[in-house]
A and B are shown apart, each in its own frame.
Chain A
């Protein structure tokens, strides 16, 4: 990228909106997954959709790859910059443009923080349901890219459930509107395809969100078991009884120790801790809570607590939501894994994780969204011990293979990004991946939008408008054209 292009870009965003000094660029060299680091050529911080379009148009003309970025909290390297590319940070586009209570919609820019949506609407007893653990700092734009989940998606669904429409700048700079304020707009559900596409189909500059009325009451129960297997059996009992709690979370002993050390959540010390939250009508919830209590007892729970106040409930959740960061208290380094298994495979997969952990001589702490089988094993290691990091990475990858073997998925909410590209061909067959990439070619024939993510073998699109120029990936022998 020559200086002239840099000046053109600077002119679009004014002085404050361009970062290109090497020291400052380092801030953006990685996201929440720090073992992938690439220094971009420049960071652009647009303040309007028109600025985003102008930047993307230049990228398109000059064949410059770009990576959109929110707060950079992603855990799969989805916002890792691309070599010789630019990063388009959306954090300055952070306005909540419209709140429409009668229709239960909110229209927001991509840089709005997840929790700020709820903060804006809670006076009217509404909330925005997707609640990733990073919700105090992560952006809606990033949530849309990753189809972020959270503890409460068991009942309320994922980001994709709550995105009704999108304004998107396509990789050629054109602007399209996918979905809308009303349901079932005629045509393909491209908003459904865009959410979770990890920034590979364009940049969302506006999202129409569904907001949700707060239920009459929320009850949170903590149950202590001797093992995760017993806790898991209780989860199956709850589901088999026909209940749909808003959240069912599980932590093992190591995770409990870490959370206690970090935020003093006052959890009972046990082998398997279950957190069950029910919400809805008071009478209904109280009656179901009695059932949950009974199911936990009959599966071996020896201590059951129900949060008696909002403060107690908040503390219970604080312990759970800070569990990843809390690992720092008990280990100098750790890998956060994100895999999904059919819930019934839990005892078998847990047993296998334990065996692998012993074999590798590494501790694994486990935090689960147990209701939907989403595991977050945390592999603990010490970087200073030679060979331990590699062993941890191998163990972490092996856990994902266990998930695939059990009929699950390599990621439930963190995304594929850089981290799990190689695992994609273990989960999907070649025709599956080629078909996805054909869809990608419809959005981004030049493959400029976050080009190095998701797919293990990038394939270039058959038809490219204009004069043929070899794609950088093609020249370097990393991709083939089809």
Chain B
């Protein structure tokens, strides 16, 4: 930006700040500081609207001023995606944090975007229910952030991802529109399914202000087991055998780490008699493999990938491959890590979604991510980077969006014609 543009932008911002303060109150409009940095880019202001309509109106003001918006929930995944091409005003949803209606007898909940997953789950548990989703960092992560980043864990195998759990969404658009779609009932085909459009859109189409979810009962009982295997091929065969069996497991994952033998984890939920039957059946399937009862903490393996010693020498990626290609994919990871002299750790779910951590020299990390993305993409899969070291040369977080990219850009243009929301952070420069 040249000096004239910079001064113009500063004038715009100052006039906007005045408008925002007069409308939201001075406490809710603050100068941004270092902790507000978004993937290396420093925003100017942070605002905390107190209601959906305040948020929509503030969004209109920022949009009209031609400035840009970074929606923020708990801030746990702000470094995912590409760095924004510009970041002016952070919109925090922290005050939209109410569980508006837990219709427990109808197994639904309506909740503000800023509510944390943990608070939500605690509220639901009072009636023996849950949102059947295990996203990262539930104590901080919010409903809006988890939806926007489409973050789901091992429970997805049984209950589906967010797209299968969200039944209604209210979105604020940069022209100040507040638009609801879906509804409060699980079964509903009236109008377009915009809750699915908002899910995983990374805040580039609108700011989610509220969501409605379908709920599931908390399990009566649960048991987790781990099974040691001799190698990737055996792990794949075991997972395939379990998937192809009559077992009604809730989660199933395989863990791979450097030279160690892979371990398969499985979770059962249900009645005691059901669990006994499943355990017996599993023992038959696993045959000679070593089967041990394990702690439920094993399902935090994915989150533990972020407990790295040196963030400047680590990269984390979400991968998606065909379930049957699990061994081929993990072999490719091991081979690439070896060639590039990296350490690796992978947790791969039976759905074909996996999370990979690579550690070592940043230049080598980049080579390895590039190699692996090419291999996965050539086989209908994908690799999306979630964490990259500051010292790594720029590397697109998303990879290819295929031949639908022009259509995606058209959707973006319709809902955010001024490119105000999270500019440059999503696929293909969106």
Contacts and interface: CB of A to CB of B under 8 A. Distances in A.
Interface of A: 100, 102-104, 146-147, 149, 153, 157-158, 160-161, 170, 175-178, 180-190, 192-193, 195-197, 213, 215-216, 236, 239-240, 242-244, 280-284, 287-288, 340-344, 369, 372-374, 407-416, 420, 424, 427-429, 431-436, 438-443, 454
A282 B281 CA distance: 12
Contact of B246 (A176, A188, A281): A281
Nearest to B384: A186
A411 B384 CA distance: 37
A196 B185 contact: no
A293 B248 CA distance: 22
B105 A240 contact: yes
Nearest to B411: A442
A188 B408 contact: yes
12 contacts: A187-B398, A193-B194, A197-B193, A215-B248, A281-B270, A284-B277, A340-B183, A372-B186, A424-B190, A428-B191, A438-B414, A441-B414
Nearest to A407: B184
Q: Which of B106, B281, B322: most chain A CB closer than 10 A?
A: B106
Contact of A432 (B180, B322, B381, B413): B180
Contacts of B160: 157, 161
Interface size class of B (residues with CB under 8 A): 35 or more
B363 interface: no
Interface in B364-414: 380-382, 384, 398-405, 407-408, 410-411, 413-414
Contacts of B183: 340, 407-409, 427
B191 A436 contact: yes
Contacts of B187: 149, 153, 158, 340, 369, 372-374, 409, 412-413
A344 B106 contact: yes
B201 interface: yes
Contacts of A185: 320, 382, 401-402
B415 A438 contact: yes
A434 B175 CA distance: 12
A239 B189 contact: no
Contact of A242 (B128, B179, B320, B382): B128
A435 B404 contact: no
Contact of A282 (B205, B270, B277, B382): B277
Contacts of A146: 189
Contacts of A434: 177, 179
A190 B404 contact: yes
Nearest to B186: A372
Contacts of A182: 320-322, 352, 380-382
B229 interface: no
B185 A187 contact: no
B331 interface: no
Contacts of B105: 236, 239-240, 343-344
Interface in B298-312: none
Given A197-B192, A244-B217, A407-B184, A187 B150 contact: no
A242 to B, nearest CB: 3
Given A185-B401, A373-B186, A416-B191, 12 more contacts: A157-B164, A177-B402, A182-B352, A193-B194, A215-B246, A281-B281, A284-B274, A427-B183, A435-B177, A438-B414, A439-B414, A443-B410
Contacts of B427: 186-187
Given A281-B277, A427-B190, A186 B411 contact: no
B278 A192 contact: no
A454 B160 CA distance: 28
8 cross-chain pairs, A with B, having the tightest CB-CB distances, nearest first: A192-B196, A284-B274, A242-B217, A435-B179, A216-B246, A283-B277, A187-B401, A442-B410
A193 B281 CA distance: 40
B42 to A, nearest CB: 27
Interface string B171-211: 10100011111011111111111101101110001000000
B353 A187 contact: no
Contact of A187 (B171, B351, B402): B402
B403 A187 contact: no
